């Protein structure tokens, strides 16, 4: 692993972000809009629902957590798609970069991108709605970590598809998070789902993260079992995603996708 090459690829995307104000605005705009929208929805529920009457912050906190997951996953995919759109893909894959270096660099850059969007959104919630996500305490770090790993995992899975199938896989990149969201139990308890869906939900780390966020905020207690379950599942899925990425790269070399992908 070469830190210089990892830093080099990071610089490629960092320069791109800093050169373009609309890109920075885009990173900040959507999370802020999302949080504002859900803030108002939370307020509505607070005054009309007994369930959320004393927990206005629950929905808003979960919206912030979900948005972080969404930004991380889409961010990773965007970095990959950016190379295809700019027809720079071939240049990248003929540079002496190991697959591990490419993944590491994109993982790091995706984190920076997600944080650029997340920090203003968190700051916005306090003056607008009097809610601070920091109420989750030290466990907030573990919840973010789980979501970050899962977001990266989805990003690697979609990028594997892009490697193997080319730009035609692009639409999947945009829809992954929307497809998984219902099973994540982001805004409602898992009991809301039909039994068969509950089984699917329990096989994803998301449900443990959001159940635990609600548990901390509503019951003021911590169930470490949820955090462990999320972490264990994340390790399994991330390992599988990395293996799939290597496999897709090998298949792309056999099928010729790498040579045609930018055209």
Partner 1 sequence: MQTLVEVKNLKKSYGLKEAVKGISFKIKDNEILGLLGPNGSGKTTTIGMMLGLLKPSDGEIIIDGKKIEENRIEILKKINFISPYIELPKKLSVRQNLIVYGKLYSVSDIKRRIEYLSEKLRLGDLLNKITGELSSGQKNRVSLAKALINEPKVLLLDEPTASLDPEIGDFVRTFLENYKKEKKISILLASHNMNEVTRLCKLTLMMKDGIIIDSGSPEELINKHGRKNLEEVFLKLTRSNNESN
The footprint of partner 1 on residues 153-212 (CB under 8 A) is: none
Positive or negative: CA dihedral 153, 214, 55, 179 = positive
Q: What DSSP state is assigned to residue 198?
A: H
The candidate with the shortest Cα–Cα distance to 158, out of 254, 250, 245, 225, is 245
* Cα–Cα distance measured from residue 150 to residue 72, given in angstroms and rounded to the nearest whole number: 9
Q: Which is nearer to partner 1, 86 or 203 (CB)?
A: 86
Binding positions for partner 1, 45-104, rule CB under 8 A: 82, 86-98
Nearer to partner 1, 98 or 199 (CB): 98
Q: Which is nearer to partner 1, 15 or 141 (CB)?
A: 15
Total residues at the site for partner 1 (CB under 8 A)? 35
* Residue among 27 and 207 whose Cβ is closer to partner 1: 27
| Burial state string for 8-19 with b = 16 or more CB within 10 A and e = fewer than 16 | ebbebbeeebee
Question: Is 225 a residue that touches partner 1 (CB under 8 A)?
Answer: no
Minimum Å gap between C-beta 161 and partner 1 is 18
Tokens matching residue 58: 């629950």
Helices 195-202, 170-184: axis angle to 10 degrees equals 110
Q: Which residues contact 13 (CB under 8 A, 6 or more apart)?
A: 79, 82, 109, 113
CB of 71 to partner 1, least distance (A): 21
> 188: left (phi > 0), else alpha (psi -120 to 50), else beta?
beta
> Residue 255 interacts with partner 1 (CB under 8 A)?
yes
Is 40:65 a contact under the CB 8 Å cutoff? no
Nearer to partner 1, 8 or 189 (CB): 8
4 lies in the site for partner 1, by CB under 8 A? yes
User: How far apart, in Å, are the Cα atoms of 131 and each of 35, 216, 243?
Assistant: 11, 14, 41
Q: Closer CB to partner 1, residue 44 or residue 247?
A: 247
Q: Does 245 bind partner 1 (CB under 8 A)?
A: no
Segment interacting with partner 1 (CB under 8 A) among 7-15, 148-156, 185-193, 232-240: 7-15
Does the protein bind partner 1 through residue 250 (CB under 8 A)? yes
Q: Is 112 in the site for partner 1 (CB under 8 A)?
A: no
Give the binding site for partner 1 (CB under 8 A): 2, 4-5, 7-9, 11-12, 15-16, 19-20, 82, 86-98, 250, 253-256, 258-259, 262-263
């Amino acid at each position: 692993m070469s830190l210089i090459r990892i830093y080099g690829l990071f610089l490629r995307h960092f320069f791109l972000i800093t050169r373009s104000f609309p890109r920075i605005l885009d990173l900040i705009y959507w999370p802020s809009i999302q949080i504002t929208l859900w803030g108002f929805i939370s307020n509505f529920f607070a005054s009309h629902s007994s369930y959320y009457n004393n927990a206005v912050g629950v929905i808003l906190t979960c919206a912030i957590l979900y948005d972080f997951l969404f930004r991380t996953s889409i961010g990773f995919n965007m970095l990959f798609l950016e190379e295809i759109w700019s027809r720079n893909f071939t240049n990248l894959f003929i540079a002496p970069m190991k697959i591990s270096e490419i993944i590491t660099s994109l993982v790091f850059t995706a984190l920076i991108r997600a944080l650029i969007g997340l920090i203003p959104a968190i700051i916005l919630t306090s003056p607008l709605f009097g809610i601070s996500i920091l109420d989750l305490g030290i466990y907030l770090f573990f919840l973010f970590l789980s979501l970050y790993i899962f977001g990266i995992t989805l990003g690697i899975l979609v990028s594997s598809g892009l490697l193997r199938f080319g730009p035609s896989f692009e639409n999947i990149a945009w829809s992954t998070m929307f497809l998984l969201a219902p099973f994540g139990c982001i805004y409602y308890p898992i009991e809301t789902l039909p039994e068969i869906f509950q089984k699917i939900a329990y096989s994803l780390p998301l449900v443990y993260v959001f159940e635990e966020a609600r548990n901390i905020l509503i019951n003021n207690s911590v169930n470490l079992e949820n955090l462990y379950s999320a972490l264990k599942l994340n390790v399994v899925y991330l390992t599988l995603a990395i293996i799939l990425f290597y496999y897709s790269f090998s298949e792309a070399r056999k099928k010729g996708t790498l040579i045609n992908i930018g055209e």
